[in-house]
Amino acid sequence: MPDVNFFTRPVHEWQRRYEALRASFVERLPSKVVAERFGYSYGYVRLLRHLFTHGKVDFSEPVPEGKTQQRRAISAEYRANLRGWRERRLSAGEIAQLLSEEGVEVSVRTVERVLAEEGFPKLPRRTRLKVGLTVKGAEVPARTERVEVAILEGHTYESACGGVYLFAPFLDKLGFDEIVREARLPGSEAIPAKSYLLSFLALKLLGTERFAHVGDHSFDPGLGLFAGLNVLPKCTAMSSYSYSLGAAHIQRLQQAFIARAAKQGLYDGKIINLDFHSVPHFGEDSVLQKHWVGARGKGMKSALTLFTQDAESRLLLYTNADIKREEADDQVLRFLAFWKGIQRGVQPTLVFDSRFTAYSQVLRAK
């Protein structure tokens, strides 16, 4: 008859995982203690905790050992429905939901098995945009347009990315509208400059690194409203706008932003770190020069960029890109001219390595 050893020394793997997670979350035992008690490695216990917190551990009753799981039979009538739904390019999950609405409860895996038996291959992985649906089942807007505040009154919207609105009070306090005006960024009647800039900011806040991935968010009306639009601009529009911005636009945008951020106390500005970074280029482009790439330990065809950082807050103060080798020594003077326009009377201590600039430029900087 089972005794206490059934719980303290589980034999089956599914029960061992359950007891290990229970000891970790309920008894709050350290991961190393849990690993030693249940015969796991420390790393596997951490993996189990991660999978459990993300809902990826199944604790449903397992199939009794020594027996095979009986497959759910699908009648000929419903098989015909399955064939029709798949011919309309519905996924296995969507088909399982349709069967559930008709009173037939089957798993997605069962639907996939039946479709394979009927000779249908798996559908390629699709984003919600490719499916053509939004969160609520509405169609994706054909084009991006401005949204007036008066139109929003009385309407509610669902968003999977509502966390970006936590950043709105900071933008208001910073004076985001004035920053865009001072930068004199280009815009259009359909998409103003402010909306373009907020669209870029929304992607950064979400961690979306490439414009090509903006389509994954095109089904979210709440994210579009963050930028004052019905939906975020498409990849082509954002890429074209990015290429239309020149060095003067970026310079004015940085100056307007840093000036207001400094007034809010985000930057100390007493000690500033300066450093070059080379971004390797692997295509056929004869325009780019060769620069030293420290990560690879050799000179490579690359774009030379400059970053300056406030030592106290560790926030970036100034950037510049596509610097020619003959222009590198002058970058310290260009930064000082930029900084004096923001913090007049504040003389920072600049920290950089011995190869950052020539000694003659250091004397001029004094």
Task: State how many domains the chain has.
Answer: 4
Give domain status of residue 281, yes or no: yes
Give domain status of residue 307, yes or no: yes
What is the Cα–Cα distance from 191 to 193, expressed in whole angstroms? 7
| Spatial CA neighbour of 272 closest among 334, 345, 351 | 351
Tens digit of each residue's pLDDT (9 = 90 or more) over 22-43: 888 888 888 888 888 888 888 8
Pair 271, 361 in one domain: yes
Pair 24, 80 in one domain: no
Pair 164, 112 in one domain: no
CA–CA distance from 50 to each of 15, 28, 45, 326 (Å)?
18, 15, 9, 51
Pair 223, 272 in one domain: no
Is the Cβ–Cβ distance between 349 and 271 less than 8 Å?
Answer: yes
Give domain status of residue 165, yes or no: yes
Per residue in 210-227, is it b (16+ CB within 10 Å) or e — as a string?
Answer: ebeebbebbbbbbbbbbb
Within 10 Å of residue 23's Cβ, how many Cβ atoms? 19
Q: Could you list the residue range(s) of the whole structural domain that residue 32 is in?
A: 5-53
Pair 95, 162 in one domain: no
Give domain status of residue 61, yes or no: no
Select from 117, 133, 167 the last residue of a domain: 117
Give domain status of residue 205, yes or no: yes
Pair 217, 307 in one domain: no
Give domain status of residue 178, yes or no: yes
Pair 162, 238 in one domain: yes
Pair 293, 326 in one domain: yes
Q: Which residues contact 250 (CB under 8 A, 6 or more apart)?
A: 319
- pLDDT of 255 reads 92
Tens digit of each residue's pLDDT (9 = 90 or more) over 291-330: 888 877 888 888 899 999 999 889 999 999 888 888 888 9
Is the Cβ–Cβ distance between 223 and 159 less than 8 Å?
Answer: yes
State what percent of residues in the chain have pLDDT above 70.
Answer: 86
Give domain status of residue 168, yes or no: yes
Tens digit of each residue's pLDDT (9 = 90 or more) over 196-220: 999 999 988 888 767 777 777 777 7
Give domain status of residue 271, yes or no: yes
